[in-house]
Amino acid sequence: MTPRILVFAGSLRADSFNKKLVRIAAAGAHAAGAETTMLDLRDLPMPIYDGDIEKAQGLPPNAKAFKQLLIEHHGVLLSTPEYNSQYPAVLKNAIDWASRQEPGDTPLMAFKGKIAGVMSASPGALAALRSQMLVRSLLLYLGMVVVPAQIGIARAGEAFDDAGRLKDEKQHAAIEALGAEVVRYARRLAPGA
């Protein structure tokens, strides 16, 4: 079976460094034989998680759509920015909604046993590694297998060329390799892969 990998960034900004970065990883996953699905969280706006909304109406339609995408894929490639040393609220909110158990679900079925590759980019010198570590921890808690590679791109405003490639070929190759590593893990570990 061909591994299916969901690809997205924890950013809404149209020209996001993290959207550029995760596209490079997606190319590496595609070259390794995966089917990749690009997702922009901007296309699935969700209300802030509220247990009263969930109780009264169930999951909002876009939260259901995001959760279903996670269920249908063997893994994710995710790039996160860093806001005040944390990952963005839009990312946490989407994950919170997708973690909710609906009738007929097994606990955390959108996450458990899936493979994750996490990366980050930031205009600062720390490459958003603090937020990346927190995202990795969250995904592990949800039952995902997070691949060991931990790559962050510092000074991201200067790191990409006009075509969206990383100017540093070693960095570019490392991000592509991260995408391929998720595919290798998915082939070995993901159910049905």
pLDDT digits (tens, 9 = 90+) for 15-39: 999 999 999 999 999 999 999 999 9
- Mean pLDDT of the region 46-68: 97
- Which residue, among 189, 188, 78, has the nearest Cα to 135 in the 3D structure? 78
Look at residue 112 in the predicted model and tell me its pLDDT.
96
Look at residue 189 in the predicted model and tell me its pLDDT.
84
- DSSP-H helix ranges across 73-168: 89-98, 129-141, 156-159
- The H or E element containing residue 146 is strand 145-146
User: Looking at the predicted structure, is the pLDDT value of residue 50 above 70?
Assistant: yes
Q: Which domains, from first to last, does the chain contain? A: 4-189 (3.40.50.360)
Q: How many Å is the Cα radius of gyration of the chain? A: 16
pTM confidence score: 0.95
What is the per-residue pLDDT across 124-168, written as a single tens digit (0 to 9) for each?
999 989 999 999 999 999 999 999 999 999 999 999 999 999 999
Mean pLDDT of the chain: 95
Contact between 36 and 29 under an 8 Å Cβ cutoff? The reply is: yes
Cα 171 to the center of its chain, rounded Å: 19
